[in-house]
Structure formats: structure tokens, C-alpha cells
Amino acid sequence: MSPVTATRALSRRAAALIATAALAATGLATVPAPAAAVTAPATAPAAAVADTGPPVRVNQLGYLPDGPKRATVVSSATAPLTWQLRTAAGTTVASGTTAVHGADTASGDSTHLVDFSSYTGSGTGFTLTVDGQVSYPFDIAAGLYDGLRADAMSFFYQQRSGIAIDPALAGAAYARPAGHLGVAPNKGDTSVPCQAGVCDYALDVRGGWYDAGDQGKYVVNGGIATWQLVNSFERAQRQGTAAAAGDSTLRVPERGNGVPDVLDEARWELDFLMRMQVPAGKPLAGMAFHKIHDAQWTGLPTRPDQDGQQRELHAPSTAATLNLAATTAQCARVYAPYDAAFAARCLDAAKRAWAAAKADPNVLAPGSDSTGGGAYDDAQVGDEFYWAAAELFATTGESQYRDAVTSSPFHSGPADAFWWGGTATLGRITLATVPGVALPADDLARLRASLVTAADGYLATMAGQGYAVPFGADGYVWGSNSSVANDAVTIAVAYELTGQKRYRDGALESLDYLLGRNALNRSYVTGYGEHASENEHHRFWAHENDASLPHPPAGSFAGGPNSGLQDPVAQAQLAGCAPAKCYVDDIGSYSTNEVAINWNAPLAWLAAFAADQGGSRPRPAPRAVADPAAVTVAEGSSATVGIRLSAAPAQDVTVAVARASGDPDLSVAAGASLVFTPANWATAQQVRIAAAQDADAANGTASFSVGGPGVDGTAFTATEADDDGVPPTAPCAVVYHVDSAWNGGFTATVTVRNTGRATVAGWTLGWTFPGDQRITNAWNATAAQSGAAVTAGDAGWNGTLAPGGTASFGFQASSASGAGTAPTAFTLNGAACG
């Protein structure tokens, strides 16, 4: 089922129908200087639009050497046809016969299927010939998707507001001055007033990404797009491929700053999203304004710095507020290793947004607010509450967010298709994949199974079609290509959870559709494929309207077939089209051919996933994980260590646990052989370590190995806590570090280390501030303050401190003297620390 209904998609651009029709009829537009004459979009006869090239439909970019290689042939033949795979030199390297599929409902085509997956060679300029008909050329290469990963991400840099686009990064044709900074003729985004009756102040909401072909900025669209970029990095971290998305890997101005470039790009939007939060002391403080855009629809073309319209803030909404809470909670988790102060600011924004949304849960954006920009109305925000709670819980472990997760009806329901107006599955993906989420094992298993079940449904739908699309004939609505990409993300998540090759194949085969194996024989990604879209609806990338302006850059993703035909160009050229063919590459067809950040985001996610497959590179072996990595065992007693895998194995694996060296009094009493399957790999299995009673007074230590065939090994240590009078050591040590300070407050990180011999199960750290410091919020701990005395308790998931183990938490505090004097004495569970 498509994540967007035709009715909901229409509400996004309701006013545009009249506005764009008027522009097309009159030729009126705002044109950057120097300007060429602007003409109305052409309305070619339908026969020209329907020219789909050769009947052999392939991924026009190509295929991975060890990936699926399938093609579709349009033919009414009832018997199989012969096919040949040929190199650029014309040499036949594989051959066979087609499988007759028959009618494809969404396109009206009679189809055959070709599967040449058994060919694992590589090269450029391959073609597939079927019954004498030759496909567009394509490559087979391990690095096939590396360029698309970079270009799909470059789209976001070029959509940035409030910064000049550098020709050295984007290319000379795409360079432009900064837009909407208040430089004439811009009114600018540095001091934007509200619509009449909404508020009596102005905000600096500069930055962020322009949403689509227009130059509005919408929190709900920015939310899902930001989440997908950051989530793609989280996925790469878990899979050991994050270096490909690291610093200096993308064309962004922040390259070389020590932060992964994908996070630099997402931060441009995160900063904007936080600027959209209603300031303290104002009505609805903590909520987020729904959107900011021009008072009226701008003409086509209009370069951003040449937009002279007044910009307006539109009323806050609960949906926007929860998008802010979710994305900034994710930010706090992912950015902490790179910029602790920014992560703390994100978490503060997230918590304030959550509290504001809970206080005003039904502030809904109206569908009628569509003058000058899309309405993005959403009458049901329970899914956003679930998503935000999931992100906050995964980041903080706090019980209030866990309770919001587990009490939500979305927690126990199926995983459904996601889009900007339906975000529950985003929260489900976070809970199912982020390490350390403190949910019961059976709850996590059910969440993961729901995602796998959804992926199975998509695969079944693909298998029943001539073009392998994950939704049926009713799914071709506004932005249908983003639906394909989003569904493919779920399929790829199922691959991470299970390791089963069919999910990898399904995600890659979804890219085949987007890159040319479809009813129109068209790549919907500019610059990728022999027959690719190049006239997407955009106010600056508008070559079709003004030859002095560029086509969209490589990596721009067209919205795709939309049977609703909600623009004049589509209505004139596509009347009577089959759903899968309701698309025209015309700048005026905004309902089939616009670009948008929430369409390029899943394309970038999917391209990064495909690039990480690395062609013939084998999937990394899962790694054994021991928690804790060091355990203390009382003499004559036992203690447990949990063993799990870092990722799903391709098949059942057996992990052996044995003493490798050290004191023979320490031994494996239970759990010496553990079996992990593609379904239970993430559930920790317990190993019991026993310490024999002996007569000596020594605290013996032993090292234990963990590993087996198909598993990268690890080790943990066990130390005997002798009961023969060994004097105790100091139980703890504390490091108190001020991360940043300003006039009136500061943020700090506190790290407590267990320097004792016994595992601490649940901790509370205490200290007394020597000055006027007052904690306002904390993360990774629950903090309370009475006068100058402070107690900080564990967050549940970080409550166990093995000997030598540490836990860190942070807080923000107010203080007239900035950070003031640091405390010097701490207690752990009432005992003084060293």
C-alpha cells in the first residue's frame, strides 16, 4: 500500500493548481538577471510523451556483480523468447530464455522477465538483446553506486537556503548567491513575522533546505528527510561501512572539519529546525512553527536570492513539534561523539518539544493553509508521538519515553509504509536497530519481526508484477517514486536484521525500477541512465523555461508517475494514461515531475546501502559481543556475562566460550556452547562463570575467549573476589568536565568509573555544587537537586558498572558565573569516591 493517498497528496499543492495554471497561461515569472524570455511549458501530443524506447527494460546505470540482474521485456508473445547478454564489443557472455509473465496491471503492458543473475563478470557498456531488440547500455561493477551516493547527497547542499552555493563544489552552472538572507530584493529569513493573528514577534529562521521546486521550508518534510540522512549514517556505523560517509567524502563546505560529511549536511537542516521552535516565554513555547514560505506562490523561474516576496511563519502544530522532538533526539545520540555541546542543545530542544506536544496534543495544521506553499496538513499525530518517544527513549533510556512507546497502539501494530504524514515505522526502525535499547527481549523480537513481515509483503507484491514495484496499481500517487524508495528502505532493514539475501536483492531490485526498469523505460534520476529525467519542476534548475539556467544536477530524483494528474501539463498530455505511465518530463508538471527533499532522502539512503554492498565484497562476519567485558565473581559463587552478535549471521552459527588463560579456579559453569540464528542474533544468551572456593588470599584473574566458525571473536575477563581478607580499594573515581560555558549557564559531562572489585548494579552519584549552579536538564541519567546537593541516578540501560567499567552522563545548568567552581567530592551509592 502506498504511504501517500491521492487525497492527501493533493492537499499539499491545492493552491498551486490555480497559480501554476495562471503562470503557464500568461508566461509571468520572476527571472534572475540577466533574464531570457519565459515561455509557457510545451504541451506535446500524448504520442510523443509515450515514446518509451526499446522494449527491453533494464537498470540503465547497471548491476552489482553479485547482485540480482533482472530485466523486463514488453512483448505479447505467449512463448519464451531467447536473450543474449553482450559486452560493449558485441561478445555474448550469457544467454537464455525469458519467463512469460503476462499482463502487468499498472502499466497495461504484456511482459516477459529476464534473469541473468548468474553472470558475475564486470565491465561497461553491456546490452541485453531479446528477440532482436536491444536495451539501453548499462555497466556491471562493484563500485556502481558510489557516484549516485555522492550525487544524491549533493542535492541537499544545492537546496540549502542562506548560503552561497560554491561553484567549486556544485559546478559553475549551479553556483548562486545565498538566498533569503535579507539582501535586496529578498525580505529574508533573518527576521520573519508570523501570519496575521499567529504571533506578535519575528524569528531568525535562516538556513535549512528549500523543500522542493518551491522555496518554502516545512518542518514535517524537513523532519523525515533529516532523519533518513542521519539514519543512513547510523546504519553504516552498525555495518562497519561508516568510513564511506565520513569526513571529506561529500561535496560540502564543511569537509575537513573532523565530522562525517553526511552529518554536516543534516546539521544545516537541524539548526533551522531548532530555530523554528517557539521561544521560552511566548505562547505555545517549545512547540515548532509548521512552516515558513512566501506569502504568495512565486513565479517560475525564480532564483532564491531574487525572490522579493514577504516570508511568513505559519502557526505552530503538534506534528511539526514532534518532528522536531524526534530529529533532535536522534541528533543528541548520533552527534555526541563529534560535538557534545551541539548534541546537548539538540536534546534540550527535543525534551522541550516533547513536553510542549504533550501539553498541546491536538494543534493541527489546516488543509486550507496552502497559499504560497504546501499545506502539509495531518489530522492524526499518534504516529508522530510514537516516533518522537522512540527516538527519545533510544537516546535517554528514560522511563517516561519508554512508557509512551509501550502504551502506543503503534507499538503493537504492524509496520506500515512510511512517509512524511505517517512516521510510526521510523520509530520502529530505531527501536529495532539501535544498540542498547532497553526493551524486553521478546518485545524487541516482535518489533524486528514486524519489519521483516512488512518487507515480505513488499517482496511478494514485487514478485507479482512485470516491473517489480513494491505497491499495486493504486500506489501511483504524488511522489510515487519516493514510496518505492521508502519501501526499499524497509526491505534493506530486514536484510540487516536477518542477513537473508532475498532482502538485499529486493532492495537492489527497487533501484532497478527507479533507474529504468519501468513502464516508461526511464531513469527517474537526472544524470543516471541513457534516458533520464532532466526537466524536473524547480524554480532555479529551469533550463526548459530559460536556456541560461541549468537542468537539475545529477542525482535529482523526480516524483514519478501520478495518476491524479493534478497539474495542467499532465492533464493536457496524459489523459487516459495507465497509472504506471502517468508521468511527463516537463518542468510544468509539478504533480509528476517535482523534486523534494523527502524524495531525495530515501534515494540517498538507498544509494548508500547499495554502494555499501560493494559488488563482490562478502558481507562482513558478525562479531561476538560480551556484556560486560569484565566481571567480578565472588569466591565460591558465580556471575553471568551476556553474549550476543553484532549483526545477523547468514545461517545458524555456534559460538564457543572457554577459558583461554589465567586462574583455573575460574571456569565456565554454563553456556559453553551457544547457537545463534538469523532470528535471535541480537538477544543476549547468558554464560555463567564460577569461582572455586580456595585457601589462598589472591584475587585470581582469567581471560575467556568467545567465537566460532563464521563469527569474529571477542574476549572478556573474570576476576575472583577472594574472601580471605584482601583490603578493599576505593569504590569509584569521577571525572567532571565542563563542555561549554556562556554568560548564565554551561553544559558538563560526568564520567564515573567503578574502581572496586564487585559489579555495581544500579548507581546514584552525589555531589554538592560550591556555587549557584542549578541543573535544568540532564541526559543519560536522572538528575535531582535540592539546594546545592545533587543526585544523578542511572538511566536503566547504563545501570550496570562492572569493575573498571564507566558510565557517562551530561547535563545543562544555569549559573550567573558561567560554569563556576567545579565540585570536588562525589559519592557512589553513598560511599565516597577516590
* Selected catalytic residue, list 180, 314, 411, 537: 537
Q: Determine the length of the chain.
A: 834
442 is catalytic: no
Q: Which residues are CB-contacts of 750 (< 8 A; sequence separation ≥ 6)?
A: 734, 735, 736, 737, 765, 781, 792, 808, 809, 810, 811
Q: Which three cell numbers stand for residue 292?
A: 515558513
Start-end of H helices in 183-292: 219-239, 261-275
The single-letter DSSP state of residue 525 is B
Q: Cβ atoms within 10 A of the Cβ of 413, count?
A: 12
Q: How much is the CA Rg of the chain, to the nearest whole Å?
A: 29
* Selected catalytic residue, list 247, 264, 594, 722: 594
For residue 139, give the amino acid letter.
D
Q: Which residues are CB-contacts of 597 (< 8 A; sequence separation ≥ 6)?
A: 155, 156, 159, 209, 210, 211, 212, 221, 222, 225
Q: Cβ atoms within 10 A of the Cβ of 817, count?
A: 13
Q: Which residues are CB-contacts of 817 (< 8 A; sequence separation ≥ 6)?
A: 771, 772
φ/ψ of 129, rounded to 5, equals -110, 130
Give the separation between CA 322 and CA 381, rounded to whole angstroms.
9
Nearest alpha carbon to residue 77 among 116, 105, 110: 110
- In sequence order, what DSSP letters do the residues of 482-500 get, joined into one string? HHHHHHHHHHHHHHHHH--
SS3 assignment, position 386: helix
537 is catalytic: yes
How would you classify the pairing of strands 62-63 and 138-140?
parallel
Is the Cβ–Cβ distance between 584 and 560 less than 8 Å?
no
SS (H, E, C) 744-792: EEEEEEEEEEECCCCCEECCEEEEECCCCCEEEEEECEEEEEECCEEEE
SS3 assignment, position 702: strand
Give the separation between CA 527 and CA 511, rounded to whole angstroms.
15
SS3 assignment, position 797: coil
Is the Cβ–Cβ distance between 53 and 90 less than 8 Å?
no
φ/ψ of 688, rounded to 5, equals -105, 125
585 is catalytic: yes
Q: Which three cell numbers stand for residue 609?
A: 546501502
Give the separation between CA 586 and CA 577, rounded to whole angstroms.
16
| ∠ Cα 233 235 237 (to 5°) | 70
Nearest alpha carbon to residue 750 among 827, 832, 804, 830: 827
The single-letter DSSP state of residue 72 is E
**Residue 709: exposure state from Cβ atoms within 10 A (0-12, 13-18, ≥19):** exposed
Strand partners, 654: 675
* Selected catalytic residue, list 104, 189, 211, 214: 214
Q: Which residues are CB-contacts of 561 (< 8 A; sequence separation ≥ 6)?
A: 476, 480, 481, 519, 520, 579, 580, 581, 582, 583, 592
For residue 131, give the amino acid letter.
D
The single-letter DSSP state of residue 13 is T
Give the separation between CA 643 and CA 439, rounded to whole angstroms.
17
* Selected catalytic residue, list 151, 378, 487, 585: 585
Q: Which residues are CB-contacts of 731 (< 8 A; sequence separation ≥ 6)?
A: 754, 755, 756, 760, 828, 831, 833, 834
Catalytic residues: 214, 537, 585, 594
